[in-house]
Amino acid sequence: MRWTAIPFKYKHVYYYCVARYLERVLKRKDEKAAALRTKVEYMADRLHSEEIANIVLFYVYLTNDWELTQRIVTNANKIYADKDACDLEDHVKICKQDLQRAA
């Protein structure tokens, strides 16, 4: 999903510019904004793409869009529903042991 034909030297500048565009258009609350909101929600469901994930990251940062944040958290909860939460005391024992041996 490439949004532009303009070349960017740094990817993060591209991601920021797209997110800024999304922010500005979605503030207008017109027909174009409604259609674009659907695309943003579609993007939030596809964060496995580096490009989409970074655009959404900048967008959420710029807008504090709580609905989209909740959508992302809901998707993450579905993906990791069968996984236990990490117990940082127990699960990183091997790392601690390796660090102690190296010291």
Tell me the average pLDDT across 67-86. Answer: 92
pLDDT, one tens digit per residue, over 17-76 is 999 999 999 999 889 999 999 999 999 999 999 999 999 999 999 999 999 999 999 999
CB burial of 59-74 (b: ≥16 within 10 Å; e: otherwise) equals bbeebebeebeebbee
Cβ 3 vs Cβ 52: under 8 Å: no
Helices (H), 28-87: 31-44, 50-63, 66-79
**Among candidates 7, 100, 14, which has minimal Cα distance to 55?**
14
Please provide the size of the chain in residues.
Answer: 103
Give pLDDT, residue 96: 78
User: Which position has the higher pLDDT, 98 or 81?
Assistant: 81
Give pLDDT, residue 99: 80
Give pLDDT, residue 2: 54
Domain residue extents for the chain: 11-102
Give pLDDT, residue 4: 59
Q: What is the number of other CB atoms lying within 10 angstroms of the CB of residue 14?
A: 20
State pTM to two decimals.
0.76
Band (pLDDT 50/70/90 cuts) for residue 6 is confident
